[in-house]
A and B are shown apart, each in its own frame.
Chain A
Amino acid sequence: MTSKHLLKLCLLLLIFSCQSSHISKIEGKRLNIDEKLTSNQDIENFIKPYRERVNNDLDSVISYAPETYSKSNGELNTAIGNLMADAVYSEGNPIFNKRTGNNIDFVLLNHGGIRAIISKGNITSRTAYEVMPFENSVVVVALKGKQVNDMFTYLSKAKRAHPVSSQFQLTLDKDFEISSASINGKPVDIEETYYVATNDYLYNGGDRMTFFHPNEGLYVLDYKIRNVLIDYFKKQDTLSPKRDNRFIKHNN
């Protein structure tokens, strides 16, 4: 074998070796990002002007939370969810009533739409941004009673604490079957029209809530859920949301 050939072979060997590396060992771990790490000063300095503008806007105290409220505290209804649905009712109904002469019958939101806890302590506009960072707005949908019944069925199957306002009552038995259901204390009349406030995301089929279509009419309030919360907080010196019996399941 000539040295020229040998060189060629070595080159070939080199190429093949590079192409066929194999994994011999894998090590995986999770690293904490916390106060033990010093902040990179260039990044800090870059964020600063952005932060200052946002903070000046958001950090004035508008209410107070005596407890921490989380959407995981409760099986089918939670204090924070009840607060949100009731806030949409109390802030949204005057606008709806003024425009249409009708009243909202009840509110349905979605559990996944509660994006943060409300921490014990001062409430600021920032709290509303954390809980409802999305730009979703309130819409009121006119629905026949039949579709309200479809909504009851959906909720019984979803088995999640989708927020509803206090006018709504749904009780499930131990097998998640509906044992009682009412709106404003009365059973649902399938021919009656109900005005249901929700957000545009759900109206458009979000969370597979298909019962909003077809409907008897749509009223867009141009009122963001986040602004509902800010307006609601401003009216409450201290929040006092409660878990109650509006949507529950019996265990026997």
Chain B
Amino acid sequence: MKRREFIQQSTAATALAGIGGLGLQSFMSSETKKITILHTNDVHSHIDPFGPDDGRNANKGGVARRATLVESIRKENPNTLLLDAGDIFQGTPYFNYYGGELEFKLMSMLDYDLATIGNHDFDNGIDGLYKQLPHAKFDFVSANYDFSNTVMDTHVKPYKTFIKNGIKIGVFGLGIQLEGLVDKKMYKETVYHNPIEVAQDMSRLLKEEQSCDLVICLSHIGYHYKKSPDRVSDINLARATKDIDLIIGGHTHTFLPKPTIEKNSAGKNVLVNQVGAYGLYLGKIDFYFEPGKATKAEGASIIV
């Protein structure tokens, strides 16, 4: 890495010195690129809005409204990714009647780019999840579930990369420990690995080997556990890793009014966000990119 930086700097200097006023300056001057990340989590089959008489969420939510919002944001910035952090299934009779078919079909119509797998996505067993895959036009990522000995083998990748307007984005998935949470007969031979260790590997791979400009963790391990603060969670993950820019979480149904800013193991800022549950909100994080290496020591300015 260090060597490449050196070459890059010396090359730039030589080129600039050599060509003088050839108009390269305008190329060098910052052409800002904007990447928008939209996200949901724990939608739990909430396809229709809550009714006007609901005791807590009256008139909130609804996939058809989310579609309108997503469409308008994509129109404004085509360089947008729409992600879901798991627990797509379970929570309304739509799931009990149709087994997740409608959830996947609608997410496909909304052009979701990627999702991770939550514990409730096993509620009709791993076979029930597998059965619905043909209805999903988006991919699933999970880096710490090993599906090798299950029907899901080869259908879930550890990570996926996207290139939007020349910016390379790497997204990897993390799932929660299933033992004690999901019946073994549901998840069968799915093997769970420690999310933090896996995330350390993934973030290094995406940043260094894949040269991603933006690294996102799509997590269903939970935001933070007050009663067991040492339990693996998004907050602990943010602190124990480096090179992750954004952790999109789920599982704990945490309604964050705005993203949390944590310091990673290298002292840099990481954003952790989660938008509660049931499709009541859409999370939106805009990343602005400038060409070249960061010059400010304090890193990016964050407005939340």
Q: Is the CB of B66 within 8 A of A23?
A: no
Does B249 lie at the interface of the complex (its beta carbon under 8 Å from any beta carbon of A)?
Answer: no
Q: A6-B18, A16-B8, A20-B292 are in contact. Are A43 and B181 (CB under 8 A)?
A: no
Chain A residues with CB below 8 A from B96, complex form: 129, 133, 135
Does B180 lie at the interface of the complex (its beta carbon under 8 Å from any beta carbon of A)?
Answer: yes
Tell me the bound Cα distance from A43 to B69 in angstroms.
Answer: 13
Does A222 lie at the interface of the complex (its beta carbon under 8 Å from any beta carbon of B)?
Answer: no
Q: Which of B46-54, B131-139, B231-239 is the interface stretch?
A: B46-54
Does A38 lie at the interface of the complex (its beta carbon under 8 Å from any beta carbon of B)?
Answer: yes
Does B286 lie at the interface of the complex (its beta carbon under 8 Å from any beta carbon of A)?
Answer: yes
Chain B residues with CB below 8 A from A201, complex form: 183
Chain B residues with CB below 8 A from A100, complex form: none
Within 8 A of A (CB), among B1-17: 7-8, 11-12, 14-15
Q: A27-B304, A47-B48 are in contact. Are A33 and B292 (CB under 8 A)?
A: no
Does B33 lie at the interface of the complex (its beta carbon under 8 Å from any beta carbon of A)?
Answer: yes
Chain B residues with CB below 8 A from A206, complex form: 180-181, 183
Within 8 A of A (CB), among B149-168: 166-167
Tell me the bound Cα distance from A149 to B292 in angstroms.
Answer: 65
Q: Is the CB of A120 within 8 A of B18?
A: no
Q: A24-B290, A32-B281 are in contact. Are A204 and B183 (CB under 8 A)?
A: yes
Q: Is the CB of B294 within 8 A of A40?
A: no
Q: Which of A7-15, A187-195, A234-242 is the interface stretch?
A: A7-15
Q: Is the CB of A129 within 8 A of B93?
A: yes
Does A214 lie at the interface of the complex (its beta carbon under 8 Å from any beta carbon of B)?
Answer: no
Report how many residues on chain B are interfacial, defined by Cβ distance under 8 Å. 92
Q: A6-B18, A17-B292, A47-B63 are in contact. Are A31 and B69 (CB under 8 A)?
A: yes
Q: Is the CB of B59 within 8 A of A46?
A: no
Q: Is the CB of A47 within 8 A of B15?
A: no
Chain B residues with CB below 8 A from A28, complex form: 258-259, 271, 273, 283-286, 302-304
Chain B residues with CB below 8 A from A31, complex form: 69, 281-284
Tell me the bound Cα distance from A9 to B65 in angstroms.
Answer: 50
A111 to chain B, nearest CB (A): 13
Q: Which of A48-56, A89-97, A164-172, A178-186 is the interface stretch?
A: A48-56
Number of A-B contacts (CB under 8 A): 228
Within 8 A of A (CB), among B261-304: 271, 273, 275, 279-294, 299-304
CB nearest to A116 among chain B residues: B91
Q: Mark B24-47, 1 if CB is under 8 A from A, else 0.
A: 100110101100000000001101
Q: Is the CB of B283 within 8 A of A33?
A: no
Q: Is the CB of A53 within 8 A of B97?
A: yes
Tell me the bound Cα distance from A206 to B286 in angstroms.
Answer: 39
Question: A30 touches which one: B12, B62, B106, B283 (CB < 8 A)?
Answer: B283
Main secondary structure of the interface of B (DSSP, over half): mixed
Question: A26 touches which one: B32, B166, B300 (CB < 8 A)?
Answer: B300
Q: Is the CB of B93 within 8 A of A26?
A: no
Q: Is the CB of A18 within 8 A of B68?
A: no
Report how many residues on chain A are interfacial, defined by Cβ distance under 8 Å. 63
Q: A20-B293, A30-B275 are in contact. Are A37 and B63 (CB under 8 A)?
A: no
Does A4 lie at the interface of the complex (its beta carbon under 8 Å from any beta carbon of B)?
Answer: no
A88 to chain B, nearest CB (A): 19
Q: A37-B69, A47-B47, A47-B102 are in contact. Are A30 and B256 (CB under 8 A)?
A: yes
Q: A34-B59, A51-B48 are in contact. Are A26 and B285 (CB under 8 A)?
A: yes
Chain B residues with CB below 8 A from A29, complex form: 258, 284, 304
Does B243 lie at the interface of the complex (its beta carbon under 8 Å from any beta carbon of A)?
Answer: no
Q: Is the CB of B18 within 8 A of A9?
A: yes
Q: Is the CB of A46 within 8 A of B300?
A: no
Within 8 A of B (CB), among A104-160: 115, 117, 119-121, 126, 129-130, 133-135
Q: Is the CB of A43 within 8 A of B288?
A: no
CB nearest to A65 among chain B residues: B55
Q: Is the CB of A24 within 8 A of B289?
A: yes
Question: B292 touches which one: A22, A40, A70 (CB < 8 A)?
Answer: A22
CB nearest to A3 among chain B residues: B19
Does B94 lie at the interface of the complex (its beta carbon under 8 Å from any beta carbon of A)?
Answer: yes
A193 to chain B, nearest CB (A): 26
Q: A29-B284, A39-B68, A119-B55 are in contact. Are A54 and B60 (CB under 8 A)?
A: no
CB nearest to A158 among chain B residues: B227
Pick 8 A–B contacts, CB within 8 A, sort by A.
Answer: A23-B294, A25-B300, A26-B288, A27-B302, A28-B284, A28-B303, A34-B59, A54-B93
